[in-house]
Amino acid sequence: MAAAPWTPTDPLGEALHTLRLRGAFYGHTHVTAPWALEMPALDDCLSFHVLTEGTCTIEVDGHPAIELRSGDLALVPHGRGHVLTSVAGLRPAGRVDHLPQRYLGEHYSVMSYGGGGTPSSLVCGVFTFDALIARPLLAALPAVLHVPADHRPAPRWISETIRLMAAELDEPRPGGDAVITRLADILVIQAVRAWLEHEPQARRGFLGALRDQHIGSSLAAIHRDPARSWTVAMLGHEAGMSRSAFAARFTELVGLPVMAYVQHWRMQLAHQRLTTGEQTVARIATELGYRSVAAFSRAFTRVTGTSPGAIRRHANTSPTSDRG
Lowest mean pLDDT among 46-50, 117-121, 187-191, 314-318: 314-318
Average pLDDT over every residue of 34-57: 92
Whether 9 shows a pLDDT value over 70: the answer reads: no
CB 40 within 8 A of CB 217: no
Strand order in the sheet with 66-69: 36-39, 82-85, 55-59, 66-69
Residues 6+ positions from 5 with CB-CB distance below 8 Å? none
Torsional sign, CA 278, 283, 289, 290: positive
More confident site: 306 or 211:
306
Vertex 289 angle, CA 287 and 292, to 5°: 95
Residues 6+ positions from 89 with CB-CB distance below 8 Å? none
Using alpha carbons only, how large is the chain's radius of gyration in Å? 22
Distance CA 284, CA 250 (A): 27
Residues 6+ positions from 292 with CB-CB distance below 8 Å? 285
State residue 108's pLDDT score: 80
Residues 6+ positions from 260 with CB-CB distance below 8 Å? none
Vertex 217 angle, CA 204 and 249, to 5°: 50
Distances (CA, A) of 57 to 83, 92, 154, 303: 8, 13, 21, 42
pLDDT tens digits for range 134-184: 677 777 888 999 988 876 655 677 778 877 877 776 676 777 777 877 887
pLDDT tens digits for range 181-238: 788 778 887 888 777 777 767 677 788 888 888 999 999 899 889 999 999 999 999 8
Strand partners, 110: 28, 102
The pLDDT mean for the chain works out to 83
State residue 198's pLDDT score: 72
Distances (CA, A) of 324 to 22, 23, 121, 311, 320: 10, 11, 30, 19, 9
pTM (two decimals): 0.72
CB 209 within 8 A of CB 254: yes
Vertex 71 angle, CA 67 and 76, to 5°: 55
pLDDT band at residue 1 using 50, 70 and 90 as cut-offs: very low
From first CA to last CA, the distance across the chain in angstroms is: 34
Whether 35 shows a pLDDT value over 50: the answer reads: yes
DSSP for 267-283? HHHHHHHHHHT-S-HHH
Average pLDDT over every residue of 290-300: 94
Angle between helices 308-317 and 258-276 (to 10 degrees): 30
Residues 6+ positions from 210 with CB-CB distance below 8 Å? 11, 12, 15, 137, 216, 219
Domains of the chain: 11-202 (2.60.120.280), 212-317 (1.10.10.60)
Percent of the chain surpassing pLDDT 70: 86
